[in-house]
Amino acid sequence: IYRMNKDGSGLKQLTTNTANDQCPSVSPDGKKIAFLSERDGSSEIYLMNADGSNQTRITNNTITEEHPSWSPDGTKIYFMRDYSSRTEIWVMNADGSNSVQLTNNQCRDERPFLSSDGQTILFMSNRNGNYEIYMMDTDGSNQRRITNSTGHKVFPIWSSDGRKIVFQSERDGNFE
């Protein structure tokens, strides 16, 4: 995992090992980075300081964990667990404690992304065939589909002002 200034200067490598380190997610205050690593044999979530120091595993599970995403207040990390045939969305305290499952079905619920007000989670799911964009409350309740058209809709994120959602779609045959 690397970090650099937005103009491309100041490139610095933060992790150095032979395992895959990926999917960095910076805490809202910019002091911590959650990321995935396979350095202990399975994909687990780690935390480190923004300068790369103090790399610590915060999950310890036999199930692959993926795509950490911080709550706006920095107290929670939302993530996915991959059960091979399905994925589910979970939340835990930022120190790795108190994991709670938010979705539970036989499909792939993926890529949780929190609204800036911390009230709503965007995610993608194939529970109705092709991938569509869904929302739910942060406790997992009120799950609802917000897109419904041909082709997959994937990787939803909120605009910075929280008024729009940006996503990738293949409704015309190729992803845009």
Instruction: Report pLDDT digits (tens) over 143-176.
Output: 999 998 877 888 888 888 888 988 888 877 777 7
User: Residue 9 class from Cβ within 10 Å (0-12 exposed, 13-18 middle, 19+ buried)?
Assistant: exposed
d(CA 3, CA 73): 22
Residue 82, pLDDT > 90, answer no
Closest CA to 61 of 78, 46, 77, 76: 46
Pairing of strands 21-26, 87-93: unpaired
> What's the whole-model pTM score?
0.88
pLDDT in the model for residue 176: 72
Confidence class for position 16, pLDDT limits 50, 70, 90: very high
Confidence class for position 123, pLDDT limits 50, 70, 90: very high
Closest CA to 78 of 39, 37, 121: 121
Per-residue pLDDT tens over the stretch 102-120: 999 888 998 898 888 889 9
Q: How far is CA 32 from CA 62, 65, 72, in A?
A: 25, 18, 13
pLDDT in the model for residue 89: 93
The strand pairing partners of 89, in sequence order, are 80
pLDDT in the model for residue 149: 80
